[in-house]
Structure formats: C-alpha cells, structure tokens
Amino acid sequence: MGQQPNVLTPDQSPQHRLGYMIRELRNARGLSMRELAAKTFVSHAKVQRWENGDRPPKDREEAELIDRVLGAGGLLVELWQEIGRGVSEPVHVSESSVHVSDTSLDLATAISWAASSDGEGIFVPQRLDDGTVVLVALDRRTLLRAGVGIGAAAVAGLSTPAAASVNATQDPFGFAGRFTESWPGLRLSRPVPDFGVDWQALIPGGRSMLGSQLSLQVHPARVEAGRVIVSVPDQRRTEEFLNRPNRSLLVGAVASAGAPQFYVLDGRKARGRLARNRNAHEVTAPTAYELDDFTQGILWAVANYDDALQADDQALAETHSDLRAYERLSASAVSREAAPGLNPVAHMWLGSDFCARHILRALPDLPEVPAFWTREQRGEEASAWLIFDHKYPYLRETTKALGSTSTRAFCIPENVVRSSPRHERILLFLAMALMEAMGIHTQVTSDASYEAVEGFVVAPDKEAVIANWVGGEGMWHVDVTARSSVVREFTNAAQDVGAHSVTAAATPAERLRALAQYLDLPWSWLIQRSAQLAKVGSSGLIQSRSRLVSPDGIDTACRYVGSLPADR
C-alpha cells in the first residue's frame, strides 16, 4: 500500500492530491477513517486506499458523496475529474477571493473555508523575513494543486516547511527549525497575541491516535553539575503560562558549539518548582529530559493516549461498566458500534482491558505452561504495554499465575521496521524490554505470512485462548477452544517462531541486543538513555492526566534496560 505524504508538492499526481485533500478535510471535520467509511457506505480499508492515493473513488457518484460528507463544495469532484483527464496545470492565483485575517490558519481550515465560501478562493497571510505580513491570494484550484507550494507555505502556522519562513527574531533559539525537520508531522505556530505561549505544538496522531496539542515556552538554559538550569527572567509571564489547565512544556535551550540542545519539563512539574521558591528566576530539569528520539517517542505516545482517554473519561467509564456483561461468556466478538461515540483510543483501551481480564480468567484452567502471541508491530500499538494502566499489572499477574517463564511472540516484518520512524521503534523496543524485565522470553518472526494470526495463548496441542484487540474489525474477539484445527494452527505458529526467532539468544540481554540490531537502534545509546531516564522517572517529562494512564511500564522498562551491560 502506498504511503500518504505528510505534505503535498505540485508535481504529485491528481490521485495523490485527491487523497491528501480527503484526509485533510476529514481531519478538519473531526472524523475518523471509520466514521467517514460509515458515512460513505464503504469499508475502512477503502478509505485508507483513497487517502493513500492507491485508488481513487470508483465513479463520479462516489466522489460526489465524499464531497458532500466532507463539505468540500465540489473541490473533490473537480480533482476526481482531473484524474481521468490526466490534468497537471501550473499553480495560479485568482483576483476574486474571500479575505481572511487569522494568522494561525492551517491548510485544512483554508481548504474548508474555500469549500464553503461563495467566492472563488481566499487570502491567506504570508509573513516575510522582515516580519511584515502580507495577504496572498489563493483560488480554489490553487488549494487543490498547490498543497505545499504557494498554498501551505503561505499559511502561517503550518509547520512542515515553516522553519524556512521564521526569522531569527521569531525563533531566537532555533527551536522551530530543529524540530519541524526532525519530527515528521509536527506543526508549530506562534499565537498572536501569545498570552505567554511561545509556540503552540500540534503533535501528530497515528493509525488510531488522534493527535495532541502542547503549549511551549522556551528559555535560555545552561548545564551545571549534571542539571539543566533554565532561566526564567519574567516570572509573571511564566506563571501565567504554567497556571493554565492545558498541557504545557517548559523548554530550556542550551547553546553548544554545534546545534543547540533542548530540554523539556512538564508544565505541572515546573509550576511546582516555581511555587516552592517565589523569588526564583530559574527552574532546574534533569539532563535525562533532553528532547531527542527517545523522549520524543514517550511524549508522543503519552500525550496522544492520555488526551484521548481523558477526553472520553465519563463515557468510557460508563461503557466499561456496561460491557462487563460479556465477561459471563466464554466467547464474544464485540464491534465498535457497542461503544458509539468513543474515540479509537478509547476503543483500544476497552479491547485491551477486556482481553487482559479474559486471559487471566482462563489461565488457571490451561493444562500446561502456554505460549503467548501478540499482534503489535509498531510503537503506536506496542506503547499501550507501557502506558495503559492495566497492562503492567496484567504482565505481573500472568507471571505470578504461571509460576514460571513464558514466551511471547511478535510478527514484525522487515518492511514494517523500514517504514516505522525511529521514535516508534524505540517504543516497540521498550515494550518488549518490559516483558523481558517480567521474566517473559520474547521472540520475533519477520515472516509476513503470520501477520493475520490473531492474538492467542496456547497450551501446545491441548487448548487455546483467543484474545485479540489489535488489528481486528471490532473492539475485541475472545474465545476458549480445544478445537483441534485451531489449537494445531496456534501451536505450529508458536513453535515455528520459537525455532526461528530473529532475536534468538540465551539471555534477556542478548535477545534485547539482537532486537535493537533488528530495529536498527544503537544498543549502547539505548542503555545510556534508559539509565538516565530511570534515575529521575518519566512523570517529570510528561505527567498523565487520565486515571487510565500510568508511568509504571515506561519506568520499569527503562530501569531494566539501563541495568544491562553495554558491552558483550
């Protein structure tokens, strides 16, 4: 399946531009892929193919339906028509426009406004190098074709190439330039007026993650005696920034001979430190909180999961109680329609929690020590092991119930590794390190033919427990079965992966070293960064707000990896 680009360039095909516009408008409307699929009477997979540019809508009727659902005002139909004609016209601008003065306008909003307007296009603000803001006219067809050409570059607040248009006065520490380049999908904007906020950060989502938002305040900093000292010259402004209820980070910029280094501290933690010393003009942070791929992955996962679960907290608690009725059944397959209105992360939590309790109920009745199989392949799904509140206790309880070492197999094909960003691979590594820390022997197959195998626990050739919440059509599918064909399939899969694991080794340290090599992660660096974070804990980096999110998994994994020998 093709990979949808983060941004669009004028030389891309109308088919890919159509996919990009469908995705941007869907996000602007606050719809998930599954919700769009339901409204257009197609499958979730078909929506994915539209947005990836793999396959356009089959006919004009389908294109018109998507256009109506997304409120595109004919924009999507126009581009669908161009696919058949093979049109690739140069970008142009129109004299007739709807005037827009919001300097925080993003591309999805611009498209939406153009689609709903009576005019032929819009004016979007462009900040020049000298700080002057001018309005650039964009017509509807420019918005369709330009993507990031004139269109996105002119939209203040779209951060993909924003660093190029931010001058030194606006970004004296080089923060925007550094992180919009190193963190794909991150969007930074400078609010006007700022009310104490230097940068508003839109954290990218994922396959199920919805994205998150952070407010940032950046200050000069220095490193002394193993600590980062962040200077806060205007304490009132910083207190105003930190006292708001939204999630915030205080950022310290340390100048160096090469590129500057940035360190972050969760806003609540920084607020507490300032409150203890009202006359202080400095805040300390651990050097472990340097913003790099390691901490970026943790910030990304915790912010996404925490915000999504907190947003649905009351409805999620009510649904969780209602769905307990299924515990009386030995088998159930529950669709997402059983929890209407909940976001995809809430569905993930419900499925994961139910499967964990299903396995714990079934374990005592299995005739021998079983083998476990899990479907997580990427950091997004695997980080649930590190973050969901029930995961760490579940691992602890399964180890206690079995009274011995067990195995847990993963199917992670090479193409999945290659397509995963580094911060996701780090999260996957830490999730498997958490299992090794609990005495669970992890195994990995690169054979893609096992991707479709459901999550299971099998007592070889005797009985199997099915417990699947990752990659299925519904929230979960659980069962307990002794059916010979099913048990034999699971037994063969577990034994084959056990015999040919790409991380096969005699000790946990050797298995994790082999895993790091397979995921293309530097072993010594993983140990160093894990040890640093283990000393101070992850909650000062980013504090959870949802009661369903816990730092225990992250901290346990880091303590374990940090204790391993860096050399053979």
pLDDT for 158-210, tens place per residue?
Answer: 333 344 445 556 778 888 888 877 787 888 888 887 888 999 999 999 989 99
Which pLDDT tens digit goes with each residue over 66-84? 988 887 777 788 888 888 7
Least confident of 93-102, 174-183, 288-297, 404-413: 93-102
| Cis before 245? omega within 30 | no
The one-letter amino acid at 441:
H
Question: Number of helices and strands (H, E) in the chain?
Answer: 22, 16
Measure Cα distances from 163 to 173, 180, 385 in Å. Answer: 12, 7, 35
- What average pLDDT does the segment 283-305 reach? 95
Residues β-bridged to residue 456:
373, 466
- Would you say the CATH fold of 175-291 matches that of 14-85? no
- What average pLDDT does the segment 19-39 reach? 82
Least confident of 132-141, 260-269, 301-310: 132-141
31: buried, middle or exposed (CB in 10 Å: 19+, 13-18, 0-12)? middle
> Percent of the chain, pLDDT > 70?
82
Domain ranges for the chain: 14-85, 175-291, 302-562
Residue with tokens 């940090």: 562
pLDDT at 278: 67
At 374, is the secondary structure helix, strand, or coil?
strand
Residue with tokens 């307007």: 117
Give the helix ranges, DSSP H, for 391-546. Answer: 391-402, 414-419, 422-437, 484-500, 508-518, 523-536
Whether residue 392 is predicted with pLDDT greater than 70 in this model: the reply is yes
Residue with tokens 């719809």: 31
Highest average pLDDT, of 32-36, 64-68, 405-409, comes from 405-409
pLDDT at 483: 95
In angstroms, the CA 413 to CA 432 distance is 16
> Percent of the chain, pLDDT > 90?
55
pLDDT band at 65 (very low <50, low <70, confident <90, very high): confident
Whether residue 525 is predicted with pLDDT greater than 50 in this model: the reply is yes
Give the closest residue to 430 by CA, choosing from 307, 543, 544, 564: 564
In angstroms, the CA 41 to CA 80 distance is 19
- Write the CATH number of the domain with boundaries 14-85: 1.10.260.40
Q: Output the furthest CA–CA distance in the chain (Å, rounded).
A: 77
43 phi and psi angles, rounded to 5 deg: -85, 160
Q: In what order do the strands lie in the sheet with 332-334?
A: 332-334, 476-481, 463-468, 456-459, 371-374, 406-411, 440-445
Whether residue 275 is predicted with pLDDT greater than 60 in this model: the reply is yes
Whether residue 430 is predicted with pLDDT greater than 70 in this model: the reply is yes
pLDDT at 87: 45
Which pLDDT tens digit goes with each residue over 116-169? 444 444 444 444 444 444 444 445 444 444 443 333 333 333 333 344 445 556
Give the helix ranges, DSSP H, for 71-170. Answer: 75-85, 107-116, 140-146, 153-154
Q: By the 8 A CB rule, do 136 and 128 touch?
A: no
Give the closest residue to 466 by CA, choosing from 445, 488, 442, 490: 490
Which pLDDT tens digit goes with each residue over 476-523? 999 999 999 999 999 999 999 999 999 999 999 999 999 999 999 999
At 124, is the secondary structure helix, strand, or coil?
strand
In angstroms, the CA 551 to CA 376 distance is 20
Q: By the 8 A CB rule, do 104 and 199 touch?
A: no
Give the closest residue to 287 by CA, choosing from 254, 248, 335: 254
Q: By the 8 A CB rule, do 428 and 376 touch?
A: yes
Q: By the 8 A CB rule, do 443 and 497 touch?
A: yes
Q: Which two tokens stand for residue 512?
A: 């994790």
Give the helix ranges, DSSP H, for 249-343. Answer: 267-276, 293-311, 313-322
Number of residues in the chain: 568
pLDDT band at 11 (very low <50, low <70, confident <90, very high): low
Q: By the 8 A CB rule, do 354 and 476 touch?
A: yes
Q: Which two tokens stand for residue 189?
A: 């904007």
pLDDT at 486: 95
The CATH architecture that domain 175-291 belongs to is 3-Layer(aba) Sandwich (3.40)
Q: Which two tokens stand for residue 274?
A: 């300032």
Contacts of 384 (CB under 8 A, 6+ apart): 305, 348, 349, 352, 376, 391
Whether residue 86 is predicted with pLDDT greater than 80 in this model: the reply is no
pLDDT at 408: 97
pLDDT at 141: 47
CA 67 to chain centre: 28
Which pLDDT tens digit goes with each residue over 249-259? 999 999 887 78
